[in-house]
Copies of this chain bind each other. A is one copy, B any other.
Amino acid sequence: MPPPSKHQGASARDRLLNAAAVLFYNDGIAATGIDAITARAGVAKQSLYNNFASKSDLVTTYIEQRHDEWLALYAARAAAAHHPKDIIIAVFDAYDDHATFAYERGFRGCGLLNAAAELGAGDAGRKAVRRHKEQVEEILHNQLSQLLPDDAGRAETLAAHLAFLLEGAMTRAGLEGDANRLRSARAMARDMLARL
């Protein structure tokens, strides 16, 4: 029987990234072996090493792909909004949207945070996760600066506050196995914005 090959689906690289996304998210990075990834991707082991320098390189690419994916979800939501307050809520909605990207066997929170927890201090992936979270906070900060043009300090504090709500809710949601906490956090954010 001939292999599925790239004709019927995605390239080996994409198939590997899709397989890795599900396995890394559901089982963790260290617990996911090369063989499990290639088997799920329906691809030869060598194809992994043709497309990625190492497992670590695949992990870093996985993280960057999640970041890009979240940005796209956010952009789609933000494009439909006009008021800075709605653009801020779009950040929360994008988190909620993103919460379903790969949970085949239960919700486990933010894949990027879970990955960072497994990675060593100097790892490139860990730094990418940090940059991602800083970028999320920056989006919040930009909108709050528009809402509070003459109180830069308060805009910064509020951006951090909303970022904490987001990450805290996501973390608790991951422990509890569903995204309900994210909805709570969004309601809290709405409430805070209403009081501006």
Contacts and interface: CB of A to CB of B under 8 A. Distances in A.
B172 A164 contact: yes
Interface in A124-170: 126, 129-130, 133, 157, 160-161, 163-169
A161 B166 CA distance: 10
A167 B106 CA distance: 21
Interface string A87-122: 000000000000000000110110001101110110
Interface stretch (A1-9, A26-34, A51-59): A26-34
Q: How many copies make up the complex?
A: 2
Residue of A28, A126, A161 ringed by the most chain B CB atoms within 10 A? A161
B30 A118 contact: yes
Interface residues of A, number: 39
Interface in A148-196: 157, 160-161, 163-169, 171-172, 174-177, 181, 184-185, 188
A158 to B, nearest CB: 9
Nearest to A167: B168
Interface of A: 27-28, 30-31, 105-106, 108-109, 113-114, 116-118, 120-121, 126, 129-130, 133, 157, 160-161, 163-169, 171-172, 174-177, 181, 184-185, 188
